Amino acid sequence: MKNINKYIIAIAAMLMMTSCYDGIDPITEVDPGPDLEDPTAELISPNGNVLIPFTDTEVDLDIEVLVEDDIEIDNVTVILDGNTIRTFESFLDYRIFMETFQYENLQLGSHNLIVNVTDTSGKTASDDLTFTLDNTYLPSVEGETFYIPFFEGLYTELISESEPIVVGTPDIVSGGYSGNTYKGATDSYLTFPIDGLFGEDSFSATFWYKVNSTPDRAGILVVGNDTPENRNQGFRLFREGSETQQTIKANIGIGSADSWNDGGVIDVTAGKWVHIALTVSATESKIYFNGVEQLSATLSSSIDWTDCSKITIGSGGETFNYWGHLSDLSEIDELRLYNKALSQAEIEAMQ
């Protein structure tokens, strides 16, 4: 009886399988026809020059290729600077092939990338791109003319790719707001020429600052001329105060007189980085801490740059060393200058 039941179940299963194929044509091979068209090859990525952060000197490059043929792809090769870096000979879809992969540690400079395809009839196609891998700094805000990040022990200004005159023994140390930072020293500062840095009647300066209250006063950023104790040209951003509080102030030369902005107070005991911005338009100066306006001062005339030729960083320097405004032992990071008066929204975006 058991054997009879098994036979019945087996026959029923066979009948069910047969019924599943009722109405379905069997699979038959279709002749693809003659191979009439050339294959196509396309480099999807990169599609132009590649820009990487200025702090980097190499990149893991993403490469994407697309290959198509009317009948069947035989092989695909990718060549970088004359060397084959990938070969593909097995394809899930014989007519369309898309692949993304990385080439590691590509160095700065000019490079040539080629993708070649051959179909099964021997027809070929290729696509190539000559591109540059570059880490040149691009200004982050319209009007930015000057930027020193103080990274890797360098005082290099990245927009002009120029070096300062270094006076004394300032230093670049770790622990900055972003990586390394400038740290002042006694009788020490940097100077750069100011050609092309400022607008005719407006400018801005921004930087991150960790104040050292010793000495109790110092110059921070100064542009002046050679006239002794003259404040009618250029500008002076400086600090004055005590061991616990330091006031950031600005003095703007307007030709026949000067204008004072008494700024705001930094709590020295907090030991925190503060983002400082000084903006000067044709009619007023403003000082901001962390994007918040501290004080504005009206200018009766626009700033006068007569006979001003250089900016001093980290000291009163040669033109503002009186009243004790000598070298600043504080830390300065991410220093930028602009040829316009920044808006508060632009400054807030830097926080």
Which ranges in the chain belong to alpha helices (H)?
2-20, 344-348
CA–CA separation, 10 and 3 (whole Å): 11
In single-letter form, the type of residue at position 71 comes to I
CATH number at residue 342: 2.60.120.200
Helix (H) or strand (E) holding 210: strand 203-210
In single-letter form, the type of residue at position 6 comes to K
CATH number at residue 102: 2.60.40.10
**215 preceded by cis ω (within 30°)?**
yes
CA–CA separation, 337 and 192 (whole Å): 12
Query: Do 128 and 212 share a domain, yes or no?
Result: no
Q: Is residue 1 assigned to a domain?
A: no
Query: Do 228 and 272 share a domain, yes or no?
Result: yes
Query: Do 278 and 226 share a domain, yes or no?
Result: yes
pTM of the model: 0.76
CA proximity to 238, closest of 156, 316, 344: 316
**77 within 8 A of 84, measured Cβ to Cβ:** yes
Query: Do 185 and 326 share a domain, yes or no?
Result: yes
Query: Do 214 and 189 share a domain, yes or no?
Result: yes
Q: Which two tokens stand for residue 209?
A: 């600052």
Quote the domain boundaries for residue 66: 40-134
Per-residue pLDDT of the chain (351 residues; tens, 9 = 90+): 444 554 455 555 454 544 444 555 555 555 667 778 999 999 999 999 999 988 889 999 999 999 999 999 999 999 999 999 999 999 999 999 999 999 999 999 999 999 999 999 999 999 999 999 999 998 989 999 999 999 888 999 999 999 999 999 999 999 999 999 999 999 999 999 999 999 999 999 999 999 999 999 999 999 999 999 999 999 999 999 999 999 999 999 999 999 999 999 999 999 999 999 999 999 999 999 999 999 999 999 999 999 999 999 999 999 999 999 999 999 999 999 999 999 999 999 999
Query: Terminal CA-to-CA distance of the chain, rounded, Å?
Result: 87
